[in-house]
Amino acid sequence: MPTQDGQPSFVLVRPQMGENIGAAARAMWNFGLDRMRVVAPRDGWPNQKAVAMASGAGRLLDEAQLCDTTAEALEGCHFVFATTARARGLTKPVYSPESAMAEAAERIAGDQKVAVLFGPERAGLENEDIARANAIINVPVNPDFPSLNLAQCVLLTGYEWRRASVEVQARRDELAGSSWAEHAEVEALARHYEERLEEAGFFFPEHKAEGMKVNLRNMWSRLPLTRADAQMLHGMMRQMVRWKNRG
């Protein structure tokens, strides 16, 4: 009976090329997945080409469960998704990869075992396999070229699993060892530039000077400055003043 520790099992049904099995293992491990089941691989098992392609994810292959049939691979599972480009006349709920993995995360949190079926490279899953699934995962691909490589499909599904199961920041800032400049630091920078530009006669004509100063201050407040940025800008202005005075 398949075991499951907080993640879905990925079931490769009759995969044909060892390289694709290895690439699928690598894609799974990229997103923290390590429950692989392999059903009747064409070129036998274990497969050295799979090991070579898996690179640092070889342990997934070592621990992969080898099964003779799809039914055997799904023993103990409560809910099964089948990845396919078309339903082939079978009535099934159809999920996007994103919604499928959100559903998987919810079911697994409720102590259910979930599996995802991936078909062989040549033609995908057969109706006999899809009939065993509770739902279909359908990727919104180009309808004129809907076929996905096995490892690509595993990668895409694994990515959506990661998004559903781990808090992913939509955006973050890499500050490279610095930190954001505080208001007082930005104020000091604005004052430094305003004073030096005043000395240089930048704020001209006189009747526009106050508006120019306000716009300059507004520019500084809009910029996402780090402390390192502020220090560099101070240094730039000091150097330009020193250079001018040397003349």
Check the CA dihedral 10-15-20-21 and report its sign.
Answer: positive
pTM given for the model? 0.78
- Domains within the chain, CATH numbers bracketed: 9-165 (3.40.1280.10), 183-246 (no CATH)
Q: What are phi and psi of 11, to 5 degrees?
A: -110, 115
**3-state SS, residue 159:** helix
Residue 28 is given by DSSP the state H
Residue-by-residue pLDDT tens, the chain, 247 positions: 334 469 999 999 999 999 999 999 999 999 999 999 999 999 999 899 999 999 888 899 999 999 999 999 999 999 999 999 876 788 999 999 999 999 999 999 999 999 999 999 888 899 999 999 999 999 988 888 888 899 999 999 999 999 999 887 888 888 888 999 999 999 999 999 999 999 999 999 999 999 999 999 999 999 999 999 999 999 999 999 998 888 6
| Beta-bridge mates of residue 36 | 10
